Amino acid sequence: MAQSNFMDIKKVNEKLSKNLEEIFKSERYKELLNIMTKFHNYSLNNQLLIMFQKPNATMVKGFKGWQELGRNVNKGEKGIKILAPVMSTVEVEKKDPITKEPLKDDKGNPIKTKMKMLVGFRYATVFDVSQTNGKELPNVRDFIKNNLQEDKN
């Protein structure tokens, strides 16, 4: 008799709940989340630049960033050029949040404040994980493959 792959909704939900609980208790999962927080969210423009230069890229980071994660860029690897923001501290007049008029001091002079502003972009170089070697990084596929398998009961 052929065995069916059918599982009812209740069993699927029970299985997912059990496996998700095990995943979230895992120290390896905590490590994955910690590493994921260290990766930038790239703009659409930078995602396109990365895709055009290295279509199979999955995780990119700068040279020093990889070193901080215990990995090194392989000798001779060509970097991926992206645009990095250039910030500068500039002096601007403070404005009333409601009227948008410049705020003035006791003598009638505009009150100034310093703030960081985007003033342009520069090229920065990043490398894909495939261009590095060193400490193994956890990935989501490991958790799906190892933790969401059917019970052997």
In tens, the pLDDT along 97-142 reads 999 899 999 999 999 999 998 988 999 999 999 999 999 886 655 5
**pLDDT tops 60 at residue 147:** no
Q: Give the C-alpha distances (Å, rounded to integers) separating 56 from 19, 53, 75, 122, 129.
A: 30, 9, 19, 24, 10
Contacts of 8 (CB under 8 A, 6+ apart): none
Backbone φ, ψ for residue 137 (5° rounding): -105, 135
CA atoms of 90 and 113, how far apart (whole Å): 8
pLDDT in tens, 60-98: 999 999 999 999 999 999 999 999 999 999 999 999 899
CA atoms of 82 and 91, how far apart (whole Å): 29
pLDDT in tens, 55-65: 888 889 999 99
Q: What is the pLDDT of residue 2?
A: 54
Two tokens, residue 91: 């002096």
